[in-house]
Structure 1
Amino acid sequence: MASKFPAPEDFDEQFLTCAICMLNYRDPKILPCLHSFCRECLQEWAAKQQPLECPTCREPVRLPDQGVDGLRTNFYVNNLLDFAAAKKGAEPDHEVVAEETLKAEKDAGKFHRKRHCPKHKNQELVFYCESCNALVCTACTVVDHRPGKDHNPVEIATVTQRRKAELLGLLQDIDPRLKKIQDAVKEVDRKISILIPAKEAATDQAKAYFRKLADLLQKREGEILSQIDEQCRADGKALQAKKEAIEFELAGLTSAQTFCQQAVEHGSDVHVLEVGNQVQTRVETLLAKELDLESDWSEFQFVENTTVVDVKKEVDNFGVVKTNVDVSKCKVAVKPAVRGFQCVAELTTLNKEGRPCFTNSKSVKAKMKNPSGKNLPTEVQMKSRGLWEISYTPEVAGNHSLEVKVNSQQVAGSPFDVDVKGNPVLTIGEGGSGVGELIWPVGVAVDKDGNIAVVERGNKRVQIFDKDTGQSLRSFPVEGENPHSIDVDSEGRFHVTSWGENSGLRRYSKEGELLNTLKPDCMHDPHGVTVLKDGRMVVVDRTQQISCLLLQPDGSLIREIGKGQLQGPAFVSVDESRDVLLVTDKTAHKVFAFDLDGNLKFDFGKEGDNDGEFRKPNGVTTDPAGNIIVGSAEDGRVQVFAPDGTLKQKVGPVKGGFASGVALTPDGYIAVACFRGNCIELYRYM
């Protein structure tokens, strides 16, 4: 239920304070999210921040046409400020009621600033025109809001009671939602309260587990070292005994050798004859003796039954941090991949209920292999709660394999096949007049459904292709000798130019029905065309006017742009968010940038084959970041420039070496009409 205003002394000063300037509100304005700020503060905030967001809740804000002044005034806060000021002995900003009465009352809810009609300054707003949703005064009901079929002024009190009843109904709907949110806050608080104890318990368990593993390893190390010692001692004794036996044989043979040698060299004839037989017998016996001189010991060594590499592979299984993630419910979305560009796959970690669930970064692993089985570096980053981005840059085209694990378990469907494409990623059409075939595609645009619309000069038709598969969806014939350029307006209608005989700008329905033909006196040789959000059009008149014609939706001329500066204009594009009209000039080999008032802002390019130079620049468009994409007619290059005209990147050359119209698909690919190649090519860039 609604409650009375609290007494001024009960007001929280923060309630009357602007969150931007931290002072009491001055002309408070209400944003759609119901947060209020000073009018001047909001104006300064809006001037600094684009796109505009609420300073408190960061909710996107779309200002009315009148800007901040078009926002509702928070009269509730104004009333409280007046009441509080009067109670403190200060003068309110505006007269409300007699000051004595104001100071005598205790209920702020009884006092409101008088609301006067902005048109009839001396009249209070006492009626509400239901047809116009506007507060009006008595004079307005006589002049601008006279009762009748177009206006229905009703006394404010009548409408207010109905509106209050509606708001009371909303208040009743708010209560259960508030309770649900409050319960959720309590549950979060409960989980926060057990977070540290849970961490400590998990830490203790992990330490105990790994201590046991360390103890087992240490015990095994002791056993192995003991075996080595025992083996060394046993082998040492055996080798020593063997050495002693061999040395005994060596001593006997050496002694016999010495005696025999002495007898031969120094014995007398009598002595030789006396001992000769004995020496001969001894030596012959020693020489004939079977000796075992080989040791039967081979060097022992430590053998890794389980290698360190194998253990390292298994270490990930030595315990995990168990979370609420249900690996069987986790999902991986593989995004289109193109060789040489950073590509991504998205992992969503979900709990048992299928809701996004946070887990620590160490628990998410990804491994990518190229077609030859070589590992490709990957990087895993958490983008938001439960959403992870797996990025990689493939070096070759072909089928790659992506393995994704969470908590050492394979995600369902892993490993995933990733088809890495080359650039262009898709080629649409081939030469011919049949369905899906093209002859001299010159202009290209993207329709309201995101599909690719192509103007064929050779077949004198517009053909629509599916942007993902390249399949032909439909086509319709167009009039004029040389159809050239195409664009789509905010209602999905096609605008097609043609030059030569029966030239003009023709507007077709989404189904391809000719709606009307525009050929104002100022337009003689229409080539490039672009349509603004409000229905105005810019058409390139190439050979007679040699300028860009800014036209009203009915085809009437607003102004010429580039007259006397352009030499051979071809295609045109307008970046309305930056008030930049871009036109390619095939004769000057440049791109010119004007504002819609016709002022030259800058130009860039010159004739040449180097990066940033042109050979007859042709199709042009811009992307959401303001980058300028230009195709060249003579060499087929497509170059991407920063908003100031600085070269950033190039792709191509396109098939046939003649880039005509260019457009940007909703998923960020450049669609190029390959005039001589009789196809449309889609390129990844950036």
Structure 2
Amino acid sequence: MAGNIEESEDIDDQLLTCAVCKLRFRDPRILPCLHTFCKECLDIWATKQQPLKCPTCRRNVTLPDQGVDGLRTNIYVNNLLDFAAVKKGAEPGVPCQVCEGKEGGARVWCVQCAVLLCESCTNTHNRFPTMKGHQIVTQEDLKATEFQRKSFCPKHEGQVLIFYCEPCQTLVCAACAVVDHRLDDEHKPVEIGDIAEKKKLGLQELLGKVDDRAKEVRAAVNDAGKEISELLTSTDTTIEQATVCFDHLITLVQDRKTEVINDIESSGQEVTKCLETQKEAIEFELSGLTSASEFGKQALEHGSDAHVIVAEGQARQRVEELLTTPTDLTVRPSQVVFSEGTAVAGLRENMKKAGCVQVTSKADVSKCSVEVNPAVVDVSSFTLLRTLDKNGHLCFVPKDDVTVTLKEPFGHDLPTSLQEKGRGLWEISYMPKLPGNHTLEVKVNGQPVAGRPFYVKVQYSHTPDLTIGKQSRGTGGENFGPVDVAVDTAGNIVVVDGKRERVHVFDPKTGQSLRHGTHLVGERPCGIDIDSNGRFTVASSCEGSQGVRVYSQKGALVERLFSDRFRELRGVAVLQNGRMVVSDKQEKSCFLLQPDKGLIREVGKGQLQDPWFIAADESRDLFYVTDGDANKVFAFDLDGKMTFCFGETGPSEGQFLCPSGITLDPEGNIIVVNFLDGRLQVFKPDGKYLRTVAKVNNFPSGIALTPNGHIAVACYWEHCVELHSYS
């Protein structure tokens, strides 16, 4: 280290200066944060603060049990101080720092006292008993390139630290190695030179890690500076955009103001003109009446009898003329009134929302993703876009910065709609008119999203997006007879196989079997549902063993429920509180069961003709039952009272031909499939028809809605489960 120090011509004085006292270090001690201060300064600082904080970085410092005395000495700073002394001592005419040159020039350096001494002061120094162990370095040794200050043992005066006890992780002298750190199971003193090489390697490894991290930090600092610069630019640009936007709004308001004021003036002038015309007519009549009055008065006052007779005839003719065509004397009070109108009220409210300011990270187009869903002809479909920053976090992007192009198989553009569903989540919706692969191009900030081009597979409504069964692995082919489906807590499709009397679990995206079929106890399983614990609840209809059985996720039979009331069970629905509803074909009713599977009440007796599958909407305290003979869906509250029913027989929209499977979407809309013609229809919660989703294979039974937006349909006679897109 000394050699490296001496290779430099100058030493930065800051390296030798304490940040507290602003003087050269005296007994420099190093804190855990690697900042160095004088021991005396730290003693004073520690009395002022509890807990002690580093004067430079303000980090809390936990002192050793010995306090500041227990902090390690900064050997590197001591060597720098020695080197500075070497330079000073090597200069000609340097006086002794004790006698100030009265006894002679400096000849030696006391390491512990950190002063230059002349020969006379050195002799005096050495006579003091407390200074006998001090390291005295001659001027010749000071000039030696390999000079380093010796480290002395604080416990044994004059003893140099030449060993290192690894278990204790401390430097010790020869006396310590014999007395306190003798070689045994708890102590292992080794020579400093041996351990120093290992520590150098360790330090080099640490420096490598520091350098690697420092590169990352410097890059981050540069990125932060770049972001600040770009942020300032984008802020100015955004201010300009906001200014243009609001200036445009102000112009629109000013233009409308001018129009309204012109309308007010025009209306006022028009009304004034009408009033003036009426006034003139009234004044004209008044003038005629006044003239007739004056004529009559003059005849009475000044005329002869002959004159009065003539004047009376003339006056009567004139007055009757005036009275038979009187002027309208009704002056309609008029004023021009300005009212804000509903548009202004709405504008005032909307102005509070005008201009949305958001601070967000910039989208990294290489991180953005597009999730394409299969689409159906003449059905509204969508693709999901995620805009992400460089760290993979969802981030806001102005709508104008996202462009979408969707082309039909023959190259024609298909209209799309872009809607933000949440921060960084965008829904691209469209309604295809043709089947086949459509090409989707998505750009963010003018750059195409990675993975382009994207292909949207469009099919006719009767074509399923995925078919599980027939040739699917793990289903048994022609022996696969699904009668009902459900979705487990992980979003997988659970199928009850009526032919093989098993329960299968499939991946909803690939259709791959995820679990070997669970063999069911009993025969003729006909309905299935999943409880809140993920257990399978299966209804069986075989004579003599019909009932409800609950299986664990691993397929173990957990519970059984039998009742002499059961005749031919079909559908089952499990409620969140553990209650369940089962339908019975022969009893023509449903049974509401307690969590302990005890019977609460019979539901629908005398109303239901052929109850089949059940779907519960607990948010509305309702459950729905399909009735194949009545061609209706019945709605009952959870107390068993029928609230309404809907449906009529026929092949048209909103009509039923033996409704079988039923399920609900997140909005509470009711999805029903017809057993006879396979129409999959959607109704509002009040039973009003919405649309037809698809036409599935003949004789479908149970259905379920998957989390990824598909309706799974059990097709017993087709030996498969079909998945149809549902938007």
The TM-score with structure 1 as length reference comes to: 0.51
Counterpart position of 2:665: 623
Where do residues 643-662 of structure 1 align in structure 2 (5 Å cutoff)? 643-655=685-697, 657-662=698-703
Amino acid at match of 1:375: D
Task: Tell me which of 447, 450, 470 is aligned to 1:430.
Answer: 470
Unpaired runs of 5+ in structure 1? Answer: 1-187, 205-322
Partner residue in 1 for 2:580: 537
Distance 1:499 1:420, change over 3 A: same
1:329 corresponds to:
366
Mapped to 2, the partners of 1:517 and 1:357 lie a distance apart of 51
- How far 1:443 sits from its partner (Å)? 1.3
Q: What is the distance in 1 between the residues matched to 2:505 and 2:655?
A: 32
Structure 1 distance, partners of 2:423, 2:523, is 57
SS at match of 2:619: helix
Residue pairs, 1:85-234, within 5 angstroms? 197-199=236-238
Cα distance change, pair 406–440 in 1 and its aligned pair in 2 (3 A): closer
Aligned mate of 2:520, from 478, 503, 522: 478
Structural mapping, 1:304-315, within 5 Å = none
In the aligned structure 1, how far is the partner of 2:445 from the partner of 2:473? Answer: 56
Question: How far did residue 384 of structure 1 move?
Answer: 4.3
Map 1:299-448 to 2 at 5 A. 325=362, 327-340=364-377, 341-351=379-389, 355-423=393-461, 424-430=464-470, 435=475, 437=477, 438-448=479-489
Q: Provide the aligned C-alpha RMSD in A.
A: 3.2
CA 1:376–1:571 in 2, change beyond 3 Å: closer, same or farther? same
Residue 469 of structure 1: aligned partner: 510
Aligned residue identity for 2:512:
Q
Measured against aligned partners, the alpha-carbon deviations of 1:44-66 in whole angstroms (never above 9, x if no partner) come to: xxxxxxxxxxxxxxxxxxxxxxx
Which among 565, 590, 594 is matched to residue 607 of structure 2? Answer: 565
In the alignment, the residues of structure 2 paired with residue 613 and residue 352 of structure 1 have an alpha-carbon distance, to the nearest angstrom, of 52
Distance apart, 1:576 and its partner CA: 0.8
Please state if 1:575 is matched with 2:628.
Answer: no
One-letter code aligned to 1:533: Q
Q: What is the one-letter code of the residue matched to 1:662?
A: I
Shift of 1:624: 1.8
Superimposed CA distance per residue, residues 613-633 of structure 1 (whole angstroms, 9 cap, x where no aligned partner): 222221212222111111222
Which consecutive residues of structure 2, in runs of 5 or more, have no partner in the other structure? 1-226, 244-359
CA contact (8 A) 1:480 1:499 kept: no
Q: Is the 8 A contact 1:518 1:554 kept in 2?
A: no
The amino acid across from 1:503 in the alignment is Q
What does 1:586-597 correspond to in 2, within 5 Å?
Answer: 586-597=628-639
In the aligned structure 1, how far is the partner of 2:239 from the partner of 2:664?
55
- For residues 533-560 of structure 1, the C-alpha deviation after alignment (integer angstroms, 9 at most, x for no partner) is 11111111220x3211111133211111
656, 668, 676: which one pairs with 2:709? 668
Q: Judge which range, 489-498 or 421-430, deviates more.
A: 421-430
Larger radius of gyration: 2
Q: Given the two structures, how large is their TM-score scaled by the length of structure 2?
A: 0.48
Tell me if the contact between 1:365 and 1:405 (Cα under 8 Å) persists in the aligned partners: yes
CA distance in 1: counterparts of 2:423 and 2:365, whole angstroms: 18
Instruction: Give the residue type in structure 2 aligned to 1:379.
Output: S
Stretch deviating more after TM superposition (395-404 or 481-490)? 395-404
Contact 1:487 1:530 in 2 (8 A): yes
Deviations 1:308-363 (A, max 9, x none): xxxxxxxxxxxxxxx97455434132231312333333444445555555444333
Q: Distance in 1 between matches of 2:242 and 2:620?
A: 55
Alpha-carbon shift at residue 398 of structure 1 (Å): 3.0
The answer to which of 329-338 and 636-645 deviates more is 329-338
Amino-acid identity (%): 48
Letter in 2 for 1:472: S
- Residue-pair matches, total: 380
CA contact (8 A) 2:693 2:726 kept: yes
- Give the AA of the match of 2:682: V
Deviation for aligned residue 1:485: 0.5
Q: Report the equivalent of 1:493.
A: 535
Counterparts of 1:485 and 1:624 in 2: how far apart (Å)? 22
Specify the SS of the correspondent of 1:577.
Answer: helix
Write the distance in 2 (CA, Å) between the matches of 1:197 and 1:555.
Answer: 69
Question: Cα offset for 1:466?
Answer: 1.0
Deviation at 1:602, TM superposition (A): 0.5
8 Å contact kept, 1:672–1:681:
yes
Shift of 1:190: 13
The 1:189/1:383 distance shift into structure 2, 3 A limit, reads: farther
Match of 1:602 in 2: 644
